[in-house]
Structure 1
Amino acid sequence: MNTALRQAATNEFEKNLFKLMNNAVFGKTMENIRKRSVVKLVSKWNGRYGAEALIAKPEFKAATIFNENLVAIELNKTEVYFNKPIYVGMSILDLAKTTIYDFHYEYMLPEFGEDCSVLYTDTDSLIYEIRNKDIYEVIQRDCHTRFDTSDYPQDNKYNIPQVNKKVLGMMKDEFNGVPVELFIGLRSKMYAVKQAVNNSNAIRTEIGLTKKIKGIKRSVIKRVITLDDFVECVDNFKTKYISQNLIRSEKHAVFSITQDKIALNPHDDKRYLIKGSYETFPWGHYFIKDDGDESLE
């Protein structure tokens, strides 16, 4: 029902609301109840239910002193009742992975062959480099069976119709017909995508630029991190540091802090970088020798 309501949504609030309602249910199916704990608020030290007795328990985890008359004691649960349908959440994840793999191996590879390379992938998305073939002709041909094109302009130059709005399992062109000119993927959830623009000198501007860095505030990404920083990081292996202001709460006291953090890191510990190239192998690939050198013969 939420999917149908999302299809009928007329604004961003409704779209996000019905998406969240689905995601919230999924999250509860996969909840790790082992992480739940018991918190006791005590105002005395001695006695059966005092802080001393609770701290002495084998399930004691942590204590927070608010003042001389109030202490919070955190205990691990001694019994865990598994009442969440984890198999439902696992099945949803498996179906999502199967959908992505089927799209790549059963559709993209037979269609494009060696002219198709995966640059980046996440749980429900893929970034491709397509060579020697017009991807928009393929989308126009197969839009009714493979793609959600509902966000394309109605009068787009590719004559792609608006179909399959929010239909489950359909792939979507996030840029709606605007080609990607440059992609830089440094690590998981750390990348930049530059869309093609009419002005060839605008490749270093913020026009049509998408930047994603997990753990960094969006305002800092927009204001401080530039495309040049991504280029410098990937070409010269230069780490980018930033400072960001955050609001924190501790013991019911709200305060602000300045955090120094690595924003861009050229070292991806999940992939092996081929020397003299931007290409990578997954660790364990048979081209990688035991000494860390690759063999491409």
Structure 2
Amino acid sequence: MENVDNRKDMKLCTHWENIGQKTGATALIAQPHFKTCSIFSENLVAIHLELSKTVLYGFYHDVIKKHFGDKASLLHTDSLILKIYTDNFYKFIGENLDEFDTSNYKPGNKFNVPINLSVLGKMKDEFPADPIVCFYGTGAKAYYVKSVSDEIKKAKGVKKNVIKKHLTIDDYSTVIEKGGVLLRKMSTFTTTLHNMFTEMKNKVALSHKDDKRYIIPNTCKTLAWGHSDIPFYETSTTQNLEYLLRAYDELCGNDV
């Protein structure tokens, strides 16, 4: 059997803030590859860091951002969905084949993407030679993607048949543009005291609140929890304006 412990990074913390060179729970939770945590007592918590996130973000920063700079932005879903301004991204794939797994492209495809063998740890296009035309992301593992000829619908914790039959593109767009929560009924198997029975649940299918990221007010942009800019958005507009004016005066050498 596969030993998944070899692919896990677990940290035990006994303090909230950093102490000297010892990393505290706050810093670990703010890591981009943070997955979950388990609290054992008031002074002991286990932090689970997902190693696959290191590969994902390494690809984004070392390959994509290095080449495209500010023309590339990341849409967080748990996979990588990238917004890139370029004339021909498929040409970029062909020129950087060592970074991609193109085994799902058909030989002689219209974008002339070369074919290589399946490679572990490389990025794979979920829509090979089928450009994405629409994306709605409500949170991690909850998004809608439409390409020229196909679509993908995801909703964390919701049964596949419910997603297929009872979630539409309008549901995703409404949650994002108007806010609120979307509920869907589904039957599940439940076990209590070794007794198994079916149960009908009215579960949250989509929500405009992304609990894994801080949503910048009045925007579709997010920040990682612990980001240094969050306090700026949490204070009033007047306080922020006063801060910017003081910073400008100090920069110009004016008396404050």
TM-score (norm: length of structure 2): 0.69
* CA distance in structure 1 between the partners assigned to 2:203 and 2:77 by the alignment: 25
**Counterpart position of 1:177:** 129
2:189 equivalent to 1:247: yes
Return the match for 1:196 from 129, 141, 148: 148
* CA distance in structure 1 between the partners assigned to 2:120 and 2:156 by the alignment: 26
**Length, aligned pairs only:** 202
2:77 equivalent to 1:109: no
| Structure 2 counterpart SS, 1:113 | helix
Q: Which has the higher contact order (CA 8 A, sep 6+)?
A: 2
CA contact (8 A) 2:162 2:186 kept: yes
CA contact (8 A) 1:247 1:255 kept: yes
Would the alpha carbon gap of residues 274 and 254 (structure 1) be closer, same or farther in structure 2, given more than 3 Å must change? closer
- Equivalent runs, 1:2-21 vs 2, <5 Å: none
What are the ranges of 5 or more consecutive residues in structure 2 without an aligned counterpart? Answer: 11-47, 245-256
**Counterpart position of 1:81:** none
Specify the code of the residue in structure 2 equivalent to 1:194.
K
Q: In the TM superposition, what whole-angstrom CA distance separates every residue of 1:211-260 from its partner, at most 9, and x where no partner exists?
A: 11111100001111111111000000021011101123445544221111
Q: Rg: which structure is higher?
A: 1
Q: In the TM superposition, what whole-angstrom CA distance separates every residue of 1:58-110 from its partner, at most 9, and x where no partner exists?
A: xxxxxxxxxxxxxxxxxxxxxxxxxxxxxxx98xx54x343223212221111
* CA distance in structure 2 between the partners assigned to 1:286 and 1:155 by the alignment: 48
* CA distance in structure 1 between the partners assigned to 2:174 and 2:57 by the alignment: 33
**Counterpart position of 1:168:** 120
Specify the code of the residue in structure 1 equivalent to 2:157.
G
- Structure 1 segments of 4+ aligned residues over 3 angstroms from their partners: 27-30, 249-254, 293-297
CA contact (8 A) 1:187 1:267 kept: yes
Specify the code of the residue in structure 2 equivalent to 1:115.
K
Specify the code of the residue in structure 2 equivalent to 1:228.
D
Return the match for 1:266 from 202, 208, 213: 208
**Counterpart position of 2:81:** 127
Specify the code of the residue in structure 2 equivalent to 1:120.
H
* CA distance in structure 2 between the partners assigned to 1:126 and 1:285 by the alignment: 20
What are the ranges of 5 or more consecutive residues in structure 1 without an aligned counterpart? Answer: 1-20, 33-88, 198-207
Q: What displacement does 1:117 show? A: 0.3
RMSD: 2.8
Q: What displacement does 1:287 show? A: 2.8
* CA distance in structure 1 between the partners assigned to 2:233 and 2:107 by the alignment: 55
| Structure 1 counterpart SS, 2:234 | coil
* CA distance in structure 1 between the partners assigned to 2:229 and 2:191 by the alignment: 49
TM-score (norm: length of structure 1): 0.61
| Structure 1 counterpart SS, 2:152 | strand
* CA distance in structure 2 between the partners assigned to 1:29 and 1:282 by the alignment: 23
Return the match for 1:155 from 108, 118, 132: 108
2:88 equivalent to 1:139: no
Percent identity reads: 34
CA contact (8 A) 1:149 1:163 kept: yes
**Counterpart position of 1:219:** 161
